[in-house]
Amino acid sequence: MAESWATSAGDEPAETGVDLHLDLAGPKLREGLTDALRDAVRSKRLAPGTRLPSSRTLAADLGVARNTVANAYAELIAEGWLTAQQGSGTRVARRVEPRRAAPAALVRPKLAGQRPTYSLLTGSPNLAQFPRKQWLAAARRAITAAPHDAFALGDAHGRIELRTALADYLARSRGVYADPERIVISSGFHHALGLMAQALKARRVRTVAVESYGLDIYREQLSNAGLRIPPLFVDEHGARTEDLAGLPTVGAVLITPAHQFPTGHALTPTRRAAVLDWARATGGLILEDDYDGEFRYDREPVGALQGLDPDRIAYFGTVSKSLAPGLRLAWMVLPDWLVPEIITAKGYLDWLASSLEQLTLAEFIASGDYDRHVRAMRLRYRRRRDQLVTALADRAPAIKVTGLAAGLQVVLELPPGTEQSVITAAAARGLEVSGIAEFRYETADSGWKLPAMDALVINYAAPLDNAWAGALDILCDVMP
């Protein structure tokens, strides 16, 4: 018998058992078993305090006589490797490790690319404020009530519990027409947009207009799917949707009407009407990314565009900014006619979005904890934005703050030609910031050119409380 796998459940309570992988070498079973157990303890594969199976159970697992195991245990107890007490069974002894000399203090070299002390980069909420206690309570309730099929790969639509909770929440908070059958769950906006790109290709759409400011990863996702992505000019009134009439090949448009990223402007009523008129006249599809839609500080948030024409708008939402990007949960509210094609693109089974996380989010929403968390974060972020605006007014009054009082970031307009020098000066002080240039998108054949603008895009939401004052102080110091 070269080796054996022992599962020590036997007739003992399940919680006391352990799995033992033992190498039984040599012709003598007792010596081989003794050596194997000693080696498992010495190498720390059996940790101090681990309860071993009874001699009868281990003997049955290994197919040896009970006395063989009992004798091996007795020898190891005598040597001090194991302990045995009445009612406590046989356990690995808590052996005292020999003291080692403390190692000399290590001096870590400063490496190029070392993480900065502070970061005001976009893309994250304040992760320290994740509602751990409430989320854990929701998870316990959700898992306790979960049907057995929740532990299998889910349906591509997503869990009906979450789709039902979202339908109610989105209808009352964002004005979305959100029947559960129109909702498809995804593992983030990136995943959802990829599915949409596949569905559009299947419908022979070849061109999707995108805003002239935004994240390049989403533009690349569309272009990598074989779609052309002409830019749609963005100014202080949001995307210039009236220009869609001059782009006859466009079959869909991706916009952020509630709070354009990163410029911070909302789509005006006139331009909201223009994009709806375009979709109805051409049969085009509006892809509404409801970015930061829940975080408006100077007034009630403007309702989603989707409620005005659910058959021509695909609505995208996510918990990445309201809770945490690590949850990897997002949703699409789709026109009826588009649902089958998204499901086809997804593959009929949900390989990415955890059913248990979906059930937890459904419970979190239904309990009211999601609303309470969003309201609390709305107050916290508003205070952060007010602190930033006040500090700049006191210490850098020439800097103009633009965009709505909304979302997680703000745009700070700089004097012409200073954007890169400010970024460099901030980095020298340990502060990482983004310039607006990295979000620009224009093409030579667009017929227009974005006006020159030097600015920073500052995420005031993400820093931890103990880092916020330091980050704000450096930011004000490096302003020109």
SS (HEC) of 176-223: CCCCHHHEEEECCHHHHHHHHHHHHHHCCCCEEEEECECCHHHHHHHH
Strand (E) or helix (H) holding 435 = strand 434-435
CATH classification number, 118-124+372-478, choose in 3.40.50.620, 3.40.250.10, 3.30.2020.10, 3.90.1150.10: 3.90.1150.10
Q: Where are the alpha helices (DSSP H) in 334-405?
A: 339-346, 355-366, 369-395
215-220 LR contacts (CB < 8 Å, sep 24+): 215/261, 215/439, 216/438, 216/439, 216/441, 217/190, 218/189, 218/190, 218/193, 218/254, 219/441
Strand, helix or coil for residue 419: helix
At residue 96, the pLDDT reads: 46
Answer yes or no: are the C-beta atoms of 392 and 479 closer than 8 Å: yes
Answer yes or no: are the C-beta atoms of 218 and 255 closer than 8 Å: no
Residue closest to 146 by CA, chosen among 358, 367, 366, 370 = 358
Question: How far, in Å, CA of 51 to CA of 416, rounded?
Answer: 71
Order of strands across the sheet that contains 434-435: 400-402, 409-413, 455-459, 434-435
Q: What is the DSSP string of 12-46?
A: S-GGG--EEEEE--SS-HHHHHHHHHHHHHHTTSS
Q: Is 268 exposed, middle or buried (0-12, 13-18, 19+ CB in 10 A)?
A: middle
The CATH code for residues 131-367 is 3.40.640.10
Say whether domain 3-92 belongs to CATH 3.20.20.70: no
Report the chain's terminal Cα–Cα distance, integer Å. Answer: 78
Bridging pattern class, strands 183-186 and 330-333 = antiparallel
What are the distances in angstroms from CA 99 to CA 38, 40, 45, 92, 103? Answer: 21, 21, 21, 20, 12
At residue 300, the pLDDT reads: 77
pLDDT in tens, the chain (480 residues): 445 545 554 444 444 456 666 666 555 677 788 888 888 888 777 888 888 888 888 888 787 888 888 888 888 887 778 888 777 788 888 764 444 433 333 232 333 456 678 999 998 999 999 999 999 999 999 999 999 998 988 889 999 999 999 999 999 999 999 999 999 999 999 999 999 999 999 999 999 999 999 999 999 999 999 999 999 999 999 999 999 999 989 999 999 999 999 999 999 999 999 999 999 999 999 999 998 888 988 877 788 999 999 999 999 999 999 999 999 999 999 999 999 999 999 987 777 889 999 999 999 999 999 999 999 999 999 999 999 999 999 999 999 999 889 899 999 999 999 999 999 999 999 999 999 999 999 888 877 888 889 999 999 999 999 999 999 999 999 999
Largest CA distance in the chain: 90
Question: How far, in Å, CA of 253 to CA of 210, rounded?
Answer: 6
Amino acid found at 33: L
At residue 2, the pLDDT reads: 47
Orientation angle between helical segments 160-174 and 369-395, nearest 10 degrees? 50
What are the distances in angstroms from CA 128 to CA 132, 139, 463, 467? Answer: 9, 19, 9, 12
Domain boundaries, the chain: 3-92, 118-124+372-478, 131-367
CA 426 to the chain's CA centroid: 27
Amino acid found at 94: R
Q: Is 369 exposed, middle or buried (0-12, 13-18, 19+ CB in 10 A)?
A: middle
Length of the chain: 480
- 354: its two tokens: 């955890």
Bridging pattern class, strands 252-255 and 285-289 = parallel
At residue 203, the pLDDT reads: 93
Cis amide leading into 262 (omega within 30)? yes
